[in-house]
């Protein structure tokens, strides 16, 4: 594969989850212990990332021009242009928007990342809403101080779990992309500070 630093040509952005394999071509990164291997097919220019060790890979840029092939990925918040060995800070790709590749039979189906995240949040909201309704009914049946304490504790656990799953990850990812890793602990510190105030 010929690698050129020129970024002219069409680009598209996709998100690729760990472990995906395509029979047209495979390119394994040499990041976090993974072996670097490339197999290019004459029938297609599709390149799919596969990582042995690591949490995720995002394809940031892929130039489809075969004479000027350039693949830029993000591996654990580090942007890497494969073949050029060019590293840049994660804050430079904070506004990357793309699609998620999901397996659908023997083919790949493109799903909007915004739709997927919204669906997950709605499911979480429905789960916690139903749980809190059930706990509230138990509280009304018991109608004791013990029931009130137990209900409050369960509601606090549910709220903390929802913050951890839905809000904190999005906020931490935004801070890591836009402001760097030094502010990753800021949201947790603020929430803990607010809880300390209400405890008093």
pLDDT at 135: 67
| End-to-end Cα, the chain, rounded Å | 64
**Angle of the 186-199 helix axis to the 169-178 helix axis, nearest 10:** 130
pLDDT at 130: 72
Distance set, CA 44 to CA 24, 40, 64, 88, 105 (Å): 6, 8, 10, 29, 20
pLDDT at 46: 34
Tally of residues, the chain:
200
pLDDT at 133: 72
pLDDT at 166: 56
pLDDT at 40: 34
Tens-binned pLDDT, residue by residue, of the chain (200 aa) = 223 333 433 333 333 333 333 322 333 333 322 323 333 333 333 333 333 333 344 444 444 444 444 445 554 444 444 433 232 332 223 223 333 333 333 333 333 334 444 555 566 666 767 776 776 676 666 666 666 677 677 777 766 666 655 555 555 555 544 444 444 455 556 666 666 666 55
């Amino acid at each position: 594969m010929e690698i050129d630093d020129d970024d002219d040509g069409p680009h598209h952005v996709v998100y690729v989850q760990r472990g995906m394999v395509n029979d047209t071509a495979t390119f394994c990164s040499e990041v976090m212990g993974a072996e670097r291997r490339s197999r290019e097919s004459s029938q297609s220019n599709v390149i799919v990332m596969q990582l042995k060790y690591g949490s995720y890979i995002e394809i940031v840029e892929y130039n489809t021009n075969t004479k000027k092939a350039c693949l830029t990925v993000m591996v654990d918040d580090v942007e890497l242009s494969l073949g050029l060995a060019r590293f840049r800070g994660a804050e430079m790709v904070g506004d990357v928007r793309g699609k998620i590749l999901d397996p659908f039979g023997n083919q790949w189906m493109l799903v909007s990342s915004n739709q997927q995240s919204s669906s997950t949040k709605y499911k979480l909201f429905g789960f916690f809403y139903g749980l809190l309704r059930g706990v509230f009914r138990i509280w009304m049946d018991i109608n004791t101080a013990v029931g009130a304490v137990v209900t409050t504790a369960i509601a606090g656990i549910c709220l903390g779990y929802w913050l951890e799953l839905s809000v904190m990850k999005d906020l931490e990812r935004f801070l890591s992309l836009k402001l760097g890793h030094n502010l990753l602990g800021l949201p947790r510190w603020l929430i803990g500070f607010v809880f300390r105030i209400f405890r008093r």
